Structure 1
C-alpha cells in the first residue's frame, strides 16, 4: 500500500535540541557555559529521555514540560552551573527551538506531492505549538499530535496509535521519521515504515525491530516517500 501520511518526531528530528545550550553559551555572560555547553545539551537530552521511560515504567506520568524542567535541573547540578537566570534562559530558548535548515523545503516538497504530514512527539501541545510557530512551519503540517493524549510516552504503542486515530490511515500507509534510533525501531515494530535520521552517526539500536531506511539528514526524504 502506498504512503499517504508522513509523520515526524519533533525534538532532534525537526528541531535542534542543542540550540538552547549553544545560543546561551554565545550570549553575553555565557562564558562559564561556553566551556561545557555541548555536555549540557547532551546530558539534558539523555536525562530527559531517561525520565520519560522511568515515569512510563513506574506508572508515574508527568507532562513533558515537567520532565524537561526536571532533567535540566539535574543537568545543571551535575555540571555545577549556578549562574542566576541560566535555567530560565535555557527553558525559554527550548520553547522556540530552531528547525534544522532543510526542514521547510522537505515539508513543502512532501505537501506538493499531496501527502499528509504531521508531528508525533512526547512534547506537550503548548511546547509543540510554540516550536512550530517559532520555526514558521505550521503551514506545512496537517496535525501536531502529542503523547499527552495517550497519557504515556513513546515507545508505547498507544502513542503511535494516535496517528491512525487522527488521520484514519492504516499503519502501512505511514512513513514515520525520527532522529532517535529507538523511536524509529519501535515505530517499525508497530507497523509503520520508518526512517532513522542518524545525524550523529550512531550505531543501530539492538531492539525488537529496525528502521527500514537510514539517512544523515532529511534532504532525501521526499525520494523515499
Structure 2
C-alpha cells in the first residue's frame, strides 16, 4: 500500500507561477514562495471554532497575504492563480511510476490537505483517476496534516495497520508527521536538501518518484 501526498509530491506547483510570469516577471516566483509558505502556516494554526478543514479557504487567505506583500492588486490575476490549484501538472515521472507500482500489485492513494474539489480537479485534469485506488482529503475529518486523525484516514480506509502503509511525501513536515503516526515513510527530496536535514522518521529517500518501485522491491 502506497499513499502519496499531493502538492509538491505528485503535483508540480511551479506551473502556477509560470502562468503569471509574463505579467509579474521575477515577482511570480516570490509570490508563489510567500503564498505557499503562508498557506502552510495557516493550516498549522488551530482551527477557528466551528470551522472545518477548508484548504481552498486557507489558500485564498494566503494569497491575499502574498499579493499584499508584493503590492499586487489584480482581481483577474488573482482568479487565475486560485484556479491553478485545480489543474496543477503532475511531475514528469508520476504517471509511469504509478503504473509500475500497480503492476507490482501495490495499491495507491492520495492523502492530502487539499479539499476534495481541489484534489479531484487535479487528478481529473492529469488523467490519473484510473491510477489511484482512493483520493482522500483532510476535510473528511475536519483537521489538517500533520494531525494524526488525517493520517488515520488512510489506515482506516484500507483497513491496514500504520506500519503496513508506505507514505510518500516531498514535504519534510509531512514526513515527520506521518512517521510519528507509524507509517513507513519515503521522503522525495526534489530540492537536493543536504542529508543532515533529512526529516525525522525517514526510512528511505529518493530524488523523485522514479526511484520508488526499487525502494519497494520492484
Same-fold call, TM cutoff 0.5: yes
The 8 Å contact of residues 18 and 42 in structure 1, kept in 2 or not, is answered as no
Secondary structure in structure 1 of the residue aligned to 2:139: helix
Q: Which residue does the alignment assign to 1:46?
A: 37
- Number of paired residues? 215
Where do 5+ consecutive residues of structure 1 fail to align?
A: none
Q: 1:74 aligns with which of 61, 65, 68?
A: 65
What is residue 86 of structure 1 aligned with on the other side?
77
Cα shift readout 1:118-163 (whole Å, capped 9, x = no counterpart)? 0000011111100001111111000000001111111111101001
Structure 1 residue 202: Cα displacement: 2.9
Once the 2 structures are TM-superposed, how far is the Cα of residue 215 of structure 1 from its aligned partner?
1.4
Q: Distance in 2 between matches of 1:78 and 1:202?
A: 27
Instruction: Give 1:126-141 correspondences, 5 Å limit.
Output: 126-141=117-132
Which of 20, 23, 28 is the equivalent residue of 1:24? 20
User: Which residue number in structure 2 is paired with residue 6 of structure 1?
Assistant: 2
SS in structure 2 at match of 1:144? strand
SS at match of 2:119: helix
Deviation, 1:211, is 1.0
Q: Which runs of 5+ in 2 are unaligned?
A: none
Q: Match for 1:117 among 103, 108, 116?
A: 108
Separation in 1 of the partners of 2:120 and 2:4?
14
Q: Check whether the contact 1:122–1:147 (CA below 8 A) recurs between aligned residues.
A: yes
TM-score, scaled to structure 2: 0.93
Residues 48 and 82 of structure 1, relative CA distance in 2, 3 Å threshold = same
SS in 2 for 1:169: coil
Q: Could you tell me how far 1:94 is from its partner in structure 2?
A: 1.7
Give yes or no for contact 2:53–2:138 (8 Å, CA) kept in 1.
Answer: no
Question: Post-superposition shift, 1:83?
Answer: 2.9
**CA distance, structure 1, for counterparts of residue 97 and residue 3 of structure 2:** 12
RMSD of Structure 2 on Structure 1 (CA): 1.8
Q: TM-score w.r.t. structure 1 length?
A: 0.90
SS in 2 for 1:187: helix
Q: Deviations over 1:80-105 (max 9, x none)?
A: 11234110011112210011000000
